[in-house]
Amino acid sequence: MIMEWQTYANPIREVLGLKGSPIAVTYAMEAPTKHAGGKHRVCDAFLKVAKGKTIDLTKETSSCPGGTWHLGLGERPKGERDKALKEFLIKGEKLYCSIAAFNRAQGLAAQPPLGLADHVVLSPLEEAEFPPDIVVFLCNAEQACRLVTLDSFSTGIPPRIEMSGATCHQV
């Protein structure tokens, strides 16, 4: 049975000229019927899902402590794991220039939805078993501009976005 949200994928993909599938993100209490299995980092999972895989992230299958925390599947890393996360975001990803900037961003940002669900299911929109809570688009700047404009097309209300931190924080 085809669900309504599945029918949106191809027209959106064609109109925007997306190279991959729109990504359905669903917070769920159960696993999807079919999924890739294994452990995944949230950022890498997006790339795999855009190419057709379904990935079920849980506290056990999310291999990045920061991603696990940002998706609400576990607590913020503590001790050495927290130190490693800061080191990665400041010196590796270069998302912040200092620990002070990192802490300020975390203090001002929306907090992760801890305890919301046991599973965060990422799937190609056209195959999504569950209704998506949000849809992620891997796109270029022009495609992103069109999506932002579309968001306010019928209401005229501009989107309120929070752009801070790693990709997993944006979800």
What pLDDT score was predicted for residue 160?
85
142 token code pair: 């022009």
Q: Order of strands across the sheet with 119-124?
A: 55-57, 119-124, 23-28, 134-136
What pLDDT score was predicted for residue 99?
93
- In sequence order, the 6+-apart residues with CB closer than 8 A to the CB of 151 are 159
What pLDDT score was predicted for residue 71?
95
Type of residue found at 31:
A
State the Cα–Cα distance between residues 159 and 25, nearest whole angstrom: 19
What pLDDT score was predicted for residue 170?
76
Block means of pLDDT (10 residues each) for the chain, length 171 residues?
93 96 98 96 96 98 93 94 90 93 90 95 98 97 93 90 78 79
State the Cα–Cα distance between residues 155 and 171, nearest whole angstrom: 23
What pLDDT score was predicted for residue 43?
92
What pLDDT score was predicted for residue 18?
97
Type of residue found at 140:
N
State the Cα–Cα distance between residues 16 and 47, nearest whole angstrom: 18
Q: Supply the pTM of this predicted model.
A: 0.90
What pLDDT score was predicted for residue 31?
97
Specify which residues 134 forms β-bridges with: 25
State the Cα–Cα distance between residues 57 and 63, nearest whole angstrom: 9
